[in-house]
Structure 1
Amino acid sequence: MKYHKSIPIVFLSLSMLFIGYYALLSISYGINGITFSWTWLCMGILLFGIAIFEIIKKRHLLSYFPKVLRILFIIFMVTSLGIFTIKVGAIVKCGQHVSKTQYDTVIVLGAQLKGEQISRLLRYRLEAALKFHEQYPNATIIVSGGQGPLESRSEASAMKAWLIQHGIEESQILMEDQSRNTNENFAFSKKLLKKDTPVSVISNDFHMYRANVLCKQNGMQCALYPAKSDFDLSFNFYFREFFGVIKDQYLTKLQ
């Protein structure tokens, strides 16, 4: 396998980019303050190590393996990259889509609290719920989210209090405060509804594709009403969502 100097340079560049992105997230939100951010650090360190190894040895790492394994590895990587590109494209597209038809019940999905305080991503979801309420003032709002290990109250209770503070009548809000993940958001919220009640769903743009999949897997007809997210977090969350979608859409069916 012929040695090309450009390959370790590309690895070095990517490693600096990934480590730099991790540093940016850590400075802005605290070390590991953002879920999945550690992945960028790990990938950066791995690529940096491979690049340095190849520069010192003046030989590509794959050259140490039999030709058959190299070919299989390249096929695997190209296939994986293709699947990743297609799926992330679908996730991005879904996050920009607002369904033309909305329903009289909307489920607002919870997100991690900071103690008992609303996080910025969750606030975006609640602001979208306010906008939805302005357009459909008679709609019932279900706030869905249990209490995590680092949270001093359930996400649903914090969401309900925030919406009431911002002018929504308590009588219009139903609370589901037992769920621990997106699938349970829908499974437990469904119990609060009459059979075959269609719902609108609010979550951040990067999360809408998976929310749509899980809503339908729970036998519910749904419309999408995405909330925004921060640009600097988009790369991290869209990357994370790819693996979340693969797990929830495909792997859970195999269990």
Structure 2
Amino acid sequence: MGIVFLILALGCFLYFGFLWTTASYLSFLWIWLLLGAIHLLMAFVYKAPERLRKNPLFFRFRIFGLSSYCIFFLLFSYLIGYLSQYHYGQWKDPLSYILVVGSELENNKITPLLQNRLERADLCYQENPSATIVLSGGKGRNSASAEASVMYQSMLKMGIPADAMLMEFYSKTTEQKLSYGIESIFQGEQNQEGSEVEEDLRQKRREAVRKRLAAQENQVVDYEEDLDSDEIFDSAEELKTEASEGPEIKDDSAEKEIGIGIVSSQYQMFRACHFAEQALKKQREEGKVDALQKVSIVGFPSVEDPALRPHLYFREALFLFGERLCHKL
């Protein structure tokens, strides 16, 4: 068994060297040095001199170390298996928004990991051409530009029209990327509703002016002046109330379902969708989303490089375990 631990330790050190030379943009690479050291310690526990083995304190340490190793091995094996098979939501209706979660850049360029996400987002957009793509990601530790702006340029080259994309520049962590991205979506929804109300008000002004023109054929009416005037109505406040609180508009708003697709790598899909649900709940609590508004969130995972999967999934399992202990998930 001691030989097995030595081989595992060597494998951890070699994998660290591989990641350092081929994917240095990834975070927490030092995990593999730590794992290598732990396996060396476990090998020593098994191959300890006879005099140490007879020591009661060392015996207790050995039992504790082996038990802890087995527990963590089983726990992380389960978490990694769960993350690799995780799916969220069921896609039925056309998507309104496609939220792409950014990742670290390498020398201010798109990495293969992020490129896979963009290609997945492009596929979603081709199937939902009326959707708006939200690119979420700020400046990382290895880049001078925001992830969102670099993704934007890459999506333009892929043929996505500029007016079909929104960018969020300020997020750093995965949680912020989902939170700020969801906030950007509903800020855009509020702006769109506001413009629709203004257009409705303007249309009512047009109709009122036409009625006055028809009723006063012998009177010269300045159409443009009346068009922008609120004198036709009792007050502008009553007009806004009529336009925004009328039963028909309210019913339409309640019946309209907003579909949000979350595009990220498979290993990150669990936390990404959970953070998106938390952000949606926060928007409802703050009154930015109507309580009757139907919102569906669906995960669209992208593939990862098989050589990077051990690091990506083990790191994600660590994040998941830590955030669960801190009651963030």
How high is the TM-score relative to the length of structure 2?
0.66
Identify the match of residue 16 of structure 1 among 3, 10, 16.
Answer: 10
Give deviations 1:25-65, integer Å, cap 9, x for gaps: 23433xx4432222112221332254256535147779653
Residue 181 of structure 1, CA deviation: 0.8
Residue 241 of structure 1, CA deviation: 0.3
Residue 163 of structure 1, CA deviation: 0.7
Letter in 1 for 2:91: K
**Does 2:19 align with 1:25?**
yes
Structure number with greater Rg is 2
Identify the match of residue 91 of structure 2 among 90, 100, 105.
Answer: 100
Moved more, 232-241 or 99-108: 99-108
Residue equivalent to 1:203: 264
How high is the TM-score relative to the length of structure 1?
0.83
Residue equivalent to 2:319: 244
Structure 1: unaligned runs, 5 residues or longer: 1-6
- Cα distance in 2 between the residues matched to 1:38 and 1:79: 22
* Inter-CA distance 60–228: structure 2 relative to 1 (3 Å threshold): farther
- Cα distance in 2 between the residues matched to 1:33 and 1:172: 29
The CA RMSD measured in Å over matched residues stands at: 2.9
- Cα distance in 1 between the residues matched to 2:33 and 2:65: 23
* Inter-CA distance 61–108: structure 2 relative to 1 (3 Å threshold): farther
- Cα distance in 2 between the residues matched to 1:105 and 1:117: 25
Residue 236 of structure 1, CA deviation: 0.5
Residue equivalent to 1:233: 308
Q: Is the 8 A contact 1:154 1:177 kept in 2?
A: yes
1:100-249 maps to which residues of 2 (within 5 A)? 100-101=91-92, 103-194=95-186, 197-219=258-280, 221-249=296-324
Residue 170 of structure 1, CA deviation: 0.9
- Cα distance in 1 between the residues matched to 2:275 and 2:16: 30
Identify the match of residue 80 of structure 1 among 58, 72, 75.
Answer: 72
Residue 211 of structure 1, CA deviation: 0.8
- Cα distance in 2 between the residues matched to 1:17 and 1:161: 39
* Inter-CA distance 146–64: structure 2 relative to 1 (3 Å threshold): farther
Letter in 2 for 1:219: L
Give deviations 1:66-86, integer Å, cap 9, x for gaps: 766666655544443333222
Identity percentage of aligned residues: 25
